[in-house]
Amino acid sequence: MPTQPQRFAVYRSHPALILNLGSCLAVLAIVAIVSYLLARERDSVELSALRSSNNIVQLIESDILRNVELYDQSLQGLIWAVGRKELAQVPGPLRQRLLFNEAFVNRKRGDVLWLDKQGNVVGDSTSSVPRQANFGDTGVFLAHQRNANLGLLVGPPFKARLGDLDWCISFSRRISGPHGEFAGLAAGALRLSYFSELFQRLDIGDDSSINLINTDGQLLARQPSRARDPLIGSNYAGRPNFKRILSEQRGSFTARSGSDHRLRMYTFARVPQLPLIVLVVHSADEVFQSWRRTAILVSVATGVLCVGILWLTLLLGRELSRRHEAEQGLATLAATDSLTGLANRRRLDQVLRQEWARAQRNRKPLAVLMVDVDHFKAFNQRHGHAGGDHALREVAKAIEACIRRPADLAARYGGEEFQVVLPETELAGALLLAERIRASVEALAPFAEDTDAITVSIGIGLSGTRHDLTSVLGAADEALYRAKAKGRNRVEGPAV
């Protein structure tokens, strides 16, 4: 695992990579934050729509309960009046008022009838002279006739037989005789158009609707009413959404419509103690239309921003890479000898200090070769500075070609002198490499008309018992002088 300084060095050597990584993380953070805010805003829009729908359901539910209560009070008042023995002696107008309380009966909503045990109309809230009709064959009449304990019964939607009431629902109670026998019916009809007019006053959107359904699945009222919508009396009992509504009684959910298969939001409630269900259906497209426009605008703006950030990062990364390459080039130039291409004296001093510290820390040997070109001054006088420079370059190439380990370093020490630093190298290895360098230089082709080959003398300094770097370098220098004194073109190890 790389250490902290190593990781820092990697970061410094790849500034564009770090910049690009940071930019990508910033873009991901921006996208994540914007996505979270848009999702939260969508939830807020959905919650607001559900809250609004629930308020509408409660409002309609309260209105239905109030109307049912008025009808029930009117029916109970009619049953009470019918049971009075003195009713037959009451004059006509007063008898009409006694049977049908105008405070409860509103002709705009519907009418109330008193039916005898055969189903004939004997009392009519619309006139003191009852309209003639018989309801003995209706399901509501027969149900009360068979069962004395039904109480208030809400009937299915029907087309009125009397007047112009159109579609209605009925509210009815049984009239019992002195001994509990069936004596007739008190029945009221409520126009379903009343609910349509009530729903019209509530603006819920063009593609949404308010519905009143009974527990048998029959549609009683719907607003707005469009040509493609189901007619009053249509049955939804087999639809999965209605089954869910019927089982849950009250609540909200989102599902696909059974009619057009579009996603819709359903908010519903069953009217307490009545077989009626109020249902508000919102189109999901309509509810989220405004949010969708905002989401598209914000997404486009965020996308442009992120692309801009990445593009600017790319440009900046390129500039940083160019700058880094230029710095690396300058650093290389600063550490390279311009004539020979080897490391210069500055670089040599740095590596010597580093390798000496490492050798001392790891208790490993360090060998230093001092290489000097033989008779270089005389060579320079014969061939001039250009010839001398060429010879130095060839010697440098030969030295560099002999070095195979990455940690070894060949450097120009000054003038015609070179140094080779060999970390973790014993005397035998240093002698072997020094001899290889000497032989490689000697094997160079003679320069111009010279018949003598270029040769080098090499002295070896070894850390061994040396206590500091200066003494190692001094030992190498001494060995070099011994090699020159013994005839040059030879290798000398450290003095014993």
Boundary (domain end) residue, out of 312, 330, 348: 330
Let me know whether 306 and 363 are in one domain.
no
Residue 464: the pLDDT is 78
pLDDT at 205 over 60: yes
Let me know whether 284 and 368 are in one domain.
no
Residue 317: the pLDDT is 81
- Residue 321 structural domain: 17-330
Residue 371 belongs to some domain of the structure: yes
pLDDT at 229 over 60: yes
Residue 27: the pLDDT is 92
How much is the average pLDDT of 280-295?
90
How much is the average pLDDT of 314-328?
81
Q: Mean pLDDT across the chain, nearest whole number?
A: 85
Let me know whether 392 and 370 are in one domain.
yes
- Helix/strand/coil for 302: helix
Let me know whether 324 and 354 are in one domain.
no
Boundary (domain end) residue, out of 330, 359, 382: 330
Q: Point out the catalytic residue in the list 102, 416, 435, 478.
A: 416
Residue 5 belongs to some domain of the structure: no
pLDDT at 9 over 50: no
| Neighbour-count burial for 291-305, b at 16+ CB within 10 Å, e otherwise | beeebeeeeeebeee
Residue 8 belongs to some domain of the structure: no
Residue 10: the pLDDT is 43
Residue 12 belongs to some domain of the structure: no
pLDDT at 11 over 50: no
Residue 364's domain is classified under what CATH number? 3.30.70.270
Residue 6 belongs to some domain of the structure: no
**Dihedral sign from CA coordinates of 9, 14, 19, 25:** negative
Residue 167's domain is classified under what CATH number? 3.30.450.20
Residue 4 belongs to some domain of the structure: no
Residue 125: the pLDDT is 84
pLDDT band of 105, cuts 50, 70, 90: low
Q: State yes or no: is 69 an active-site residue.
A: no
Let me know whether 372 and 241 are in one domain.
no
Let me know whether 129 and 43 are in one domain.
yes
pLDDT band of 483, cuts 50, 70, 90: very high
pTM: 0.58
What element of type H or E holds 193? helix 193-200
Please state the separation of Cα 128 from the chain's center in Å. Answer: 72
Compute how many other C-beta atoms are within 10 angstroms of the C-beta atom of residue 150: 13
| Neighbour-count burial for 25-54, b at 16+ CB within 10 Å, e otherwise | eebeeeeeebeeebeeebeebbeebbebbb
Residue 254 belongs to some domain of the structure: yes
How much is the average pLDDT of 49-78?
87
Q: Does 224 sit behind a cis peptide bond, omega within 30 degrees of 0 on the bond before it?
A: yes
Let me know whether 189 and 77 are in one domain.
yes
8's tokens: 């820092």
pLDDT at 12 over 60: no
Let me know whether 412 and 320 are in one domain.
no
Let me know whether 124 and 31 are in one domain.
yes
- Comparing 8-12, 404-408, 453-457, which segment has the lowest mean pLDDT? 8-12
- Helix/strand/coil for 157: coil
State the Cα–Cα distance between residues 150 and 138, nearest whole angstrom.
16
Residue type, 494: P
Residue type, 326: A
Let me know whether 180 and 63 are in one domain.
yes
Let me know whether 352 and 459 are in one domain.
yes
Distances in whole angstroms, Cα of residue 160 to Cα of each of 110, 111, 153, 196, 389: 10, 10, 17, 17, 123
pLDDT digits (tens, 9 = 90+) for 127-150: 888 888 888 888 889 999 899 888
Let me know whether 389 and 275 are in one domain.
no
Tally of domains within the chain: 2
Residue 3: the pLDDT is 47
**Dihedral sign from CA coordinates of 26, 29, 33, 38:** positive
State the Cα–Cα distance between residues 212 and 59, nearest whole angstrom.
13
185's tokens: 């019916």
pLDDT digits (tens, 9 = 90+) for 107-131: 667 788 989 999 998 888 888 888 8
Boundary (domain end) residue, out of 306, 330, 354: 330
How much is the average pLDDT of 269-283?
87
Residue 2 belongs to some domain of the structure: no
* Half-sphere exposure (Cβ direction) of 65: Cα atoms closer than 13 Å: 12
Residue 173: the pLDDT is 92
* Half-sphere exposure (Cβ direction) of 262: Cα atoms closer than 13 Å: 12
Residue 299: the pLDDT is 94
* Half-sphere exposure (Cβ direction) of 310: Cα atoms closer than 13 Å: 12
Distant-in-sequence contacts of 380-387, Cβ < 8 A, 24+ apart: 382/450, 383/447, 383/448, 387/447, 387/448
How much is the average pLDDT of 473-480?
92
- Show Cβ contacts of residue 331 under 8 Å, excluding neighbours closer than 6 positions: none
Residue 170: the pLDDT is 85
DSSP string, 459-474: EEEE-TT--SHHHHHH
pLDDT digits (tens, 9 = 90+) for 394-448: 999 999 999 989 899 999 998 899 999 999 999 999 999 999 999 999 998 887 6
